[in-house]
Structure 1
Amino acid sequence: MEYHVKKFTQLTTKEFLEIVKLRIAEFVVEQNCPYQEVDDADEFAWHTWLQDGPDIVGYTRIIDKGETVSFGRVIVNPDYRGKKLGNKLLEETLKVIEEHYPNRPIIIGAQAHLTEFYGAFGFEAISDVYLEDDIPHIDMRRDEIKSWHA
């Protein structure tokens, strides 16, 4: 299994097509949530993914917000779920953030049911639960790179 990290301009059209297909299958179709899944942030984000042969196993995108950094569109391919690959994906994503944005706070808008998952990586809730596209979310923050036990 390989981990890839690329800016938008470094992606091949095939790579971006496969990423977008997985994102739409998860966030629009599986979650029954019609919204503009591909957006302007894609052009400026770091795109990261785990790949097993031709399959994208998991994906995240990292966005520079100036004083803070964020990541989102966190997906594990349905065919690979239940194998703790979300942990590996998040560990790798946090390494990329530390490399490119050292010592910046990380703020994410997490689906509320994943609070415990992100909490295992040092994230703490900083908002009440709110609806985004009819899905309960919560803002979470991690101020410094800490040891975590996921």
Structure 2
Amino acid sequence: MNTIKNLNDLQWQCVSFAELSNLQLHAIYQARAAVFIIEQNCVYQDVDGKDPLSHHLTAWTPTGEVAAYLRIVPAGISFTETSLGRVISTKDWRGTGVGKALIANGIKALHTLYPAADIRIGAQAYLEKFYGSFGFETVSDIYLEDDIPHIEMLWTAKA
């Protein structure tokens, strides 16, 4: 079935871990596993203890599925700065612009929670230009994380 995906059909939600319902958390973990573990063939511990400390930005479809997701991690947990992590757009929604909407909404949501905060990310290296289009600058050499080339990138808040 080839249905047209419309970004206007998505409902954006940014909540703390405690505010997620059991079904929402299950859908998020299912989507993260589908992308990171199955599609990228990467065996690693996705549930890493950072979720309860983070806020979760999710683009929900009208049927309650995850179209896109990221977590907003406070400073001092993944990096010295605040960060965006576990960034995904699900397979059915790729190519619709949902990834761009996710990062734009993620930066906005992070700054609602942490005004004027810098943002550091550990990005897959092939996405360097994508994140660069939002103002992230590469601040590390390429390194391997779970056998996937990554780079650290920094978005500096404007004074």
- Normalising by the residue count of structure 2, what TM-score does the alignment of the two structures yield? 0.89
TM-superposed deviation, 1:114: 0.3
Is 1:12 the equivalent of 2:21?
Answer: yes
Which residue matches 2:73? 63
Q: What are the Cα deviations for residues 100-126 of structure 1, in whole angstroms up to 9, with x where unaligned?
A: 111111000000000000000000000
- Alignment-derived partner of residue 76 in structure 1: 89
- Report the counterpart of residue 125 of structure 2 in structure 1: 112
Q: Which residue of 1 aligns with 2:157?
A: 144
- Tell me the distance in 1 between the aligned counterparts of 2:66 and 2:37: 18
1:6 is aligned with what amino acid? V
Aligned position for 2:12: 3
Equivalent pairs, count: 146
CA RMSD of aligned residues (A): 1.2
Equivalent residue for 2:5? none
CA distance in 1, matches of 2:41, 2:153: 24
Q: What residue in structure 1 maps to residue 136 of structure 2?
A: 123
Identity in percent:
40
Q: 2: distance between equivalents of 1:51 and 1:42?
A: 18
Gaps of 5+ in 2: 1-9
Query: Are 1:98 and 1:145, in contact at CA under 8 Å, matched by a contact in 2?
Result: no
Local SS of the residue matching 1:115: helix
Asked whether the equivalents of residues 7 and 45 of structure 1 are also in contact (C-alpha less than 8 Å), the reply is yes
Residue 91 of structure 2 corresponds to residue 51 of structure 1:
no
1:84, CA displacement in angstroms? 1.0
